[in-house]
Amino acid sequence: MKTLLNVIWLVLCGFWMAIGYVIAGIICCILIITIPFGLASFRIANYALWPFGRTIEQRREAGAMSVIGNVIWFIFAGWWLALGHLVTGFLLCLTIIGIPLAIANFKMIPISLVPLGSQIVPTT
């Protein structure tokens, strides 16, 4: 079932959301100081391509630098990526088959807002 949902997700919205994260990652990797943001964006792009069967966990060892980084990320990239998830989620809610995909989209909003200090892990 996860594979079927992931394929439907990839066709309807996963590819486009992953492109947004890759563009944000490329922009962040242009400057040396923003490479951690670029790496986080590439990690989320991978998650945006194939989200079912994986979940997000907070890393307890993340310190104050991740908080500062998340504030910077939110200002420059996080809000418009979260807005993309929100709009796509609402559009997917218009059909019955899109409701599980919309829930997955809404589940990705927190990591798109504050990606540093969290990790993507497989569900058991």
Task: Note the pLDDT tens digit of each residue in 45-97.
Answer: 999 898 888 888 888 777 888 888 889 889 888 888 889 889 989 998 998 98
For residue 98, what are the domain limits?
2-122
Kind and range of the H or E run holding 55: strand 54-58
Single out the residue of 108, 30, 38, 43 nearest to residue 72, CA to CA: 38
Type of residue numbered 62: A
Q: How many domains does the structure of the chain reveal?
A: 1
Residue with tokens 């563009």: 23
Instruction: Work out the number of other CB atoms within 10 angstroms of the CB of residue 100.
Output: 15
pLDDT at 42 over 90: yes
| Mean of pLDDT values over 101-119 | 88
Q: pLDDT tens-digit profile of 22-35?
A: 998 899 899 888 89
Type of residue numbered 82: A
Record the tokens describing residue 31, joined without a space: 């400057």
Single out the residue of 91, 6, 90 nearest to residue 49, CA to CA: 6
Q: What is the pTM of this model?
A: 0.81
